[in-house]
Amino acid sequence: MSSQAVTLADVAVEAGVHPSTVSRVLSRPQLIGEPTRTAVHAAIHKLVYTPNRAARQLAGGRVGAIGVLVPDITNPFFAHVVRSVQQGCRRNGLTMLLADTDQREADELSEARALAGSVDGFVVCSPVAATQQWLQVVGTAPLVFVNRRANGVASVALDQQAIIELGVTHLRAAGHRSIAVVRGPHSYWSSRERDRVVRRLPGLVTYGPVRPDFEAGIALATDLMRSNVTGVLAFNDVQALGIVAGYRAAGRSVPRDLSVVGSDDIADAAMSDPPLTTVAAPVQQLGDAAFDLLARLLAGAIERPEITLPVTLTVRASTLGRSSTSSTNSIATKGNHR
């Protein structure tokens, strides 16, 4: 029961009005007279009334909650997205139900199914299940994909082409001739998208698919050391840092033996040894945009835009010729905005 003793009815009594009047004050304030409205608000405040979500939902209204799914909350990238979505929720008085699929693709839809019916809409980060499945699970509830494009689904994603181009161009400019691009899991849209870009660019070697985590990066380092690759664009920062760690563990040096470019620009990138050159993603914007999109859909918007966010290159020591002092200054280059 918790402290859920105060009901709408109590407030009604306190304010001397009918329950439905109180209900209206909460949902369509403009439809009631100024005096009663104030009285009701006073009563609400006095009794510390908190609406019962369950009842509200059951009665057919909005739930006042959205579901957010992430593959791995301990990945700083997703943590930031989640935080800005949460901020949006707070500002709009919504509750956030979070589910971490723990990278287990099979759990993605089941988690969603469990949440469906308890939320007004979904923000899903890097989903892997088929669009069809998703649409079926969420039914008519608004759905926003983050970092995945799909027909008929609103989405906000990073400019994958720019990520590849900025990274590769930078490495080329630094004089590298044998450049590797690490592919991510094929289940990721971003990975498939990058593959398409890479295919159009001549003279690149690809590795992987390699999981976008630290351990996989370490393992990949071994392969890289056996090759003649001198510059690599990792799938993301965490993986890039793994590559760096793998090199260090083997007594090799970055950037002397290998120039490494990451992707995301998580906090660690700037604090690592050496600081990591990376294609920075606007995480705050990502989350904000995702929330705004969902909010608009919840409000009844019918268009489902596919938003592409630009990325920028942040150059740090991991791609500088020698063991130069780490330049804290980031040389930001605007990516292609579509």
Partner DNA sequence: CTGTTAGCGCCTTCAT
Partner DNA sequence: ATGAAGGCGCTAACAG
Residues that bind DNA (CB under 7 A): 4, 7-9, 17-21, 23-24, 26-27, 31-33, 35-37, 49, 51-52, 55-56, 58-61
The answer to whether 42 contacts a copy of itself (rule: CB under 8 A) is no
Residue closer to DNA (CB basis): 61 or 310:
61
Minimum CB distance to DNA, residue 4 (Å): 6
Q: Which does 299 bind (CB under 5 to 8 A by kind): DNA, a copy of itself, none?
A: none
Picked from a copy of itself, DNA, none, the partner binding residue 27 (CB below 5 to 8 A depending on kind) is DNA
Distance CA 240, CA 275 (A): 11
Decide: helix, strand or coil at residue 190.
helix
H, E, C per residue of 104-155? CHHHHHHHHHHHCCCCCEEEEECCCCCHHHHHHHHCCCCEEEECCCECCEEE
Sign of the dihedral through C-alpha 292, 293, 297, 301: positive
Nearer of residues 202 and 300 to DNA, judged by Cβ? 300
Q: Measured in whole angstroms, how far is the alpha carbon of residue 128 from the centre of its chain? A: 14
Q: Residues 272, 277, 278, 330: which binds a copy of itself (CB under 8 A)? A: 272
Of these partners, a copy of itself, DNA, none, which one is at the site of residue 215 (CB under 5 to 8 Å by kind)? none
Number of other residues whose CB lies within 10 A of the CB of residue 107: 16
Work out the angle between the directed axes of helices 214-226 and 237-249 (0-180°, nearest 10): 50
Binding of a copy of itself by 53 (CB under 8 A) = yes
Report which of 77, 23, 24 is spatially closest to residue 51, judged by C-alpha positions: 23
Give the pair of three-digit tokens for residue 108. 């993605």
Q: Whole-angstrom Cα distance, residue 281 to residue 236?
A: 10
Q: Tell me: does residue 72 bind a copy of itself (CB under 8 A).
A: yes
Give dist(CA 284, CA 310) in Å, integer: 13
Task: Mark 195-234 with x for binding to a copy of itself (rule: CB under 8 A) and - for no binding.
Answer: -------------------x--------------------
Q: Residue 277: helix, strand or coil by DSSP?
A: strand
Return the residue of 20, 74, 151, 336 that touches a copy of itself, per CB under 8 A.
Answer: 74
- H-helix or E-strand containing 290? helix 283-298
Point out which residues bind a copy of itself (CB under 8 A): 1-4, 48, 50, 52-55, 57-58, 63, 65, 72-74, 76, 79-80, 82-83, 86-87, 90, 93, 95-100, 102, 107, 111, 113-118, 136-141, 214, 241, 244-245, 248-249, 267-268, 270-275, 326, 328
